[in-house]
Chain A
Amino acid sequence: MRASDLIHLLPELILLGGAALVLLLDIVWLRRAEERRRQLLPYVALGVLLVAALGLIPGGGDNVSVATMLVFDPFALFFKVFALLAVALIVLLATPYMQTRTPFSGEFYALLLATALAICLAVSASNLVMIYLSMEFLSITSYVLAGYFRQDRKSGEAALKYFLYGATASAVMLYGMSLLYGATGTTDLAGLVAGLSSGAAGQSAWLVTPAIILLLAGFGFKASLVPFHQWAPDTYEGAPTPVTAFLSTASKATGFAILMRVFLVGMGAASMASQWISLLVALSVVTMTLGNLTALRQTNIKRLLAYSSIAQAGYILIGVVAVVSDSTRIFTGINGVLIYLLAYLFTNVGAFAVVTAIEDATGKLEIKDYSGLVRRSPWLAGLLFIFLISLTGVPPTGGFLGKFFVFGAAVQTRMWVLLAIAAVNSVVAAFYYLNIVRYMFFVPAAEEGEPIRVGRPLQGALAITAVVTVLLGLIPGPVILWASESARSLLLALR
């Protein structure tokens, strides 16, 4: 490791320092201060995120390996920007919400910054050991965030379930990694593909299939793929709503980023690719179908969005399995995944922002509590409608753009059965998304309520997410370019 490499680690270092700073400010400076000064903390966190984003610029366009364990390529850069954006939105969501619910709001922002750091490391990791460590880092901070309301039993349940599933999944994943190490004698992704396809490892090639399955437990847990999804509904329901928004977007995206890097770089050779592709096709079908069918029966909005997020993971997987190595194509599969994840970030965080606003004002989370919302708060109802049609995949929204690209990739690779199942699924999904719309617009409220007051930070989050969701549909050009460019660095590894 050279000193000049540090420039690539700038955002990570800033986040590390920032997290420590927020923590220290909370303990030392604000110790006896009045509550008003404490309200500055989220803005400190936002500032740290902004500086970290600026820190991405010096090492921006490079494609280098640092300290043998991290690689800085456009693909990692995409997800780092993604993570900073996501965490910034979550901070906005959490600002009024957390302050009224817990006295420990300072640590919350420090932890959020730590998750951003974890994601930045995870998406750069090019070595199984580093991948494991950064995923654990992300998981442990997430467990704490999920159980942040200590007095609330549901929040505790959320954290415990998440922890138990997560611990098991990561142990299983670690076992898979050890199998790969046993077969090849290396933990480096690039070394892995060389070792597995060379003759020397010929007799241990059979290890690849079990290793893939074991690794999937870890990645699938983060990305909430069926059958590693069981934690998701309870955790999503019990966790503080901004944390739920985080788990369903940034955390899920990290799972996909690692999955793509490990499989494309570490097992990109054709003989291995066919194995994980067929496995992922099956997972995709099961994930979207089960997610959608279970979502139909939900009455709690957070649980509904949890199952919807499982189903969406199934659609995103289509992009992964439809990958093509020719990066000059419009649809490479991977660019579809990136576009989808980005659109889903803004859409889903937006939806959770509305949920947060309503929960904050009324404390209610059942879908039937949304009755007559259009009379009470037409803006919130209208915004949630935009997010819901984006989740459904109706133009002109980001959700449509994402579906367009993953479906396009599947058409290109002629996965007709998968496409047909996905098409049917998207109609099923339309039903339960419209069910929320039905309550908001067509069912009169049981009792008249006052208009819902929305704090400034949350207003900001709503405005940003809604505008981006629509703009992604209207002016998709720049994002398509960016995603395709970012995907290219990963596709080069695939042969």
Chain B
Amino acid sequence: MNQFPLLSVITLLPLVGGLILLALPGARLQKWWALGVSLATFVISCLLFVWWKAGEAGMQFVERLPWVPQFNIQYYLGVDGLSLFLVLLTTFLTVLVILFSWEGVEQQLKPFLALLLLLETGMIGVFVALDLVLFYAFWELSLIPMYFLIGGWGDAHGTYNFLGRTLSWRVYAALKFFLYTFAGSALMLVAILVLYIRGGTFDLLALQQIGLAPNLQFWLFLAFGLAFAIKVPLFPFHTWLPDAHVEAPTAGSVILASVLLKMGTYGFVRFCLPLFPDASRQLGPWIAALAIVGILYGALVALVQKDVKSLVAYSSVAHLGFVMLGIFALNAQGVAGATLQMVNHGLSTGALFLMVGMLYNRRHTRLLADFGGLWKQIPIYGFLFLIVALSSAGLPGLNGFVGEFNILLGAFQMNRAYAVFGTLGIILAAWYLLVAVRQMLHGPLNKAENMAVRDLNVREIVTLAPIILLFFVIGLFPNLFFDKINPSAQAVVDALNRPQPIVSMAVDSER
């Protein structure tokens, strides 16, 4: 085992960098520092990929230290095939959103960048923590910076009346985001405590072995599941999402859609399936059904959006529905496809939000009706936008296809009807994305404001290029990724179908 605490460095470097950033003077230095820190984190996190032990299903790069020994809480980190690419996705996208935010954040740049770095620590921590208390701490830690990013730097327009208070929309969206997530995590905390009292440990891997009564599993699954379902968001817990996505600044939307939502789907794979196998099998079909409702509902609502950012936001509901469908197909193909699709959605939707943000910086509008014929005016933008849209729609040869194909294969093995409805969702996705492409890029260039729009500059192209490169890498060489994901996905599914140990019914409530 490698002795170098690689995961700690990746997790804590952004936090330390963010704190140092607060002491630095001058916007220019701050930007370069933030970029440097995030880039360093990304480069170091690539070592995970390089030093990866192929074919291993278990945790790698494990770090384990007692944190509160009296209480059996540990500082326990590790990654496996399920979390590896989510960590890489996080470090990768943080670099790009900092690059994107080079211009456009007029005020309070320093706290903005510091919050982005703090958020990075929280997100990576969620993906690598193997102790439930540590996980919970990171889970909540990722909540606070996002709350500030939406509330402090979101779009300032409109107000909303809420409980007798007049809030601006972005503050309302930030509050809604916080309260929804916090409500979910309050129940999750109770469930974590139940697990601790049953198992005497917060160690995730040890807790997977204790064997809980199916009845208890059911309730604990619901408590964890609610927290994750809100985060995903699974229909009908999605109502916070359009507000938060649309109101957030572009960097926030990208992180929110690409990484934060994955905390929910990742939670299902990492916690719900292995900890509560009986409940997962019992509730799986219902959740898959909700996922399909989400796919169709998200797509149909996206179809009628007038604001392109809302369109992308609702498309996330649909795409995350696919991920959930893959997970609750409860077979290796579905889980592996879902894991890759988490990354794919992160890249595609992240790129979509970036491109919408780039256009917004130029035109200060996002209404589809305000655009038209942009291809003639800004061909580079048009070309890249088309690729991103096609990736999001799941065109073969690009990344989205690989994930969705595997998810549908998995779903097909479970229940053909689910696969059929899922396919319908893909068609709808192509529809709403191409509608957006048509309204923005094609047609006559007949609005005066659009005739003065500049094409992408070098920095923006540099921001987008790595994502688009990855579209092709994943699309053409998916096994580069599946090689690492599959063993872990297989292990999750094997554990799910293994007969459970005899249930211990310890009585804890005697006074």
Contact = CB atoms under 8 A, between A and B. Distances in A.
Interface of A: 270, 273, 296-297, 323-326, 330-331, 389, 392, 394-396, 403-404, 407-408, 411-414, 419, 423-424, 426-427, 430-431, 434-435, 438, 441-442, 476-477, 480-481, 484
Contacts of B141: 395-396
Contacts of B70: 330, 477, 480-481, 484
Contact of A395 (B140, B171, B186): B140
B1 interface: no
Nearest to B180: A427
B482 interface: no
Contacts of B171: 438, 442
A438 B152 contact: no
A426 B509 CA distance: 24
A404 B187 contact: no
A434 B189 contact: no
A434 B71 contact: no
B31 to A, nearest CB: 20
Nearest to B184: A427
B462 interface: no
B186 A412 contact: no
B289 to A, nearest CB: 26
A64 to B, nearest CB: 27
Interface stretch (B35-43, B190-198, B234-242): B190-198
B-side binding surface: helix, strand, loop or mixed? helix
Nearest to A481: B70
B46 interface: no
Contacts of A408: 193, 196-197
B16 interface: no
A477 B137 contact: no
A444 B70 CA distance: 46
* Max chain A C-beta neighbours (<10 A), residue from B137, B190, B509: B190
Interface in B156-173: 163-165, 167-168, 170-171
B21 to A, nearest CB: 14
A426 B182 CA distance: 9
Contacts of A438: 151, 167, 171, 175
Contacts of B193: 404, 407-408, 411
A427 B186 contact: yes
B140 A412 contact: no
17 contacts: A394-B144, A395-B140, A395-B141, A403-B189, A407-B189, A413-B509, A414-B509, A423-B183, A423-B186, A423-B189, A424-B183, A426-B186, A431-B175, A438-B171, A438-B175, A442-B174, A480-B71
Contacts of B69: 477
B364 interface: no
B507 to A, nearest CB: 10
B100 interface: no
A434 B178 contact: yes
Given A476-B68, A477-B70, A325 B511 contact: yes
Given A426-B186, A438-B167, A394 B140 contact: yes
Closest CB pairs A-B (n = 8)? A423-B186, A395-B137, A411-B193, A427-B183, A408-B193, A414-B509, A477-B68, A442-B151
Contacts, number: 95
B221 interface: no
| Interface of A (DSSP majority class) | helix
B421 interface: no
A403 B193 CA distance: 11
B431 interface: no
Contacts of A426: 182, 186
B314 interface: no
A430 B179 contact: yes
Contacts of A392: 182
Interface in B176-212: 178-179, 182-183, 186-187, 189-190, 193-194, 196-197
Contacts of A484: 70
B472 to A, nearest CB: 41
B148 interface: yes
Nearest to A415: B509
Contact of A427 (B147, B179, B196): B179
Contacts of B52: none
A442 B182 CA distance: 20
Contacts of A412: 197, 508-509
Contacts of A435: 165
Given A395-B141, A396-B137, A442 B178 contact: no
Nearest to A409: B193
B136 interface: yes
Contact of A441 (B148, B194, B197): B148
Contacts of B148: 441
A325 B509 CA distance: 11
A273 B511 CA distance: 11
B189 A404 contact: yes
A326 B510 CA distance: 9
Nearest to B134: A395
Contacts of A414: 508-509
Contacts of A419: 190
Contact of B151 (A395, A407, A441): A441
A330 B151 CA distance: 39
Q: Which of A396, A434, A476 has the most C-beta atoms of chain B within 10 angstroms of its own C-beta? A: A434
Nearest to B143: A394
A243 to B, nearest CB: 30
A411 B140 contact: no
B175 A434 contact: yes
B46 to A, nearest CB: 29
A481 B508 CA distance: 22
A482 B13 CA distance: 33
A339 to B, nearest CB: 11
Interface string B99-143: 000000000000000000000000000000000010011001101
B182 A430 contact: yes
Contacts of B164: 297
Contacts of B133: 395
A352 to B, nearest CB: 22
A404 B68 CA distance: 14
B355 to A, nearest CB: 28
Contact of A411 (B71, B163, B190, B511): B190
Nearest to A475: B68
A395 B510 CA distance: 30
Nearest to A408: B193
Nearest to A432: B163
Given A419-B190, A476-B68, 10 more contacts: A273-B511, A389-B144, A395-B141, A413-B509, A424-B186, A426-B186, A431-B163, A431-B179, A442-B151, A476-B71
A481 B164 CA distance: 45
Q: Which of B140, B143, B152, B174 has the most CB of A within 10 A?
A: B140
Nearest to A476: B68
B510 to A, nearest CB: 8
Contacts of B189: 403-404, 407, 423
A442 B175 CA distance: 11
Contacts of A407: 189-190, 193
Contact of B187 (A324, A389, A423, A434): A423
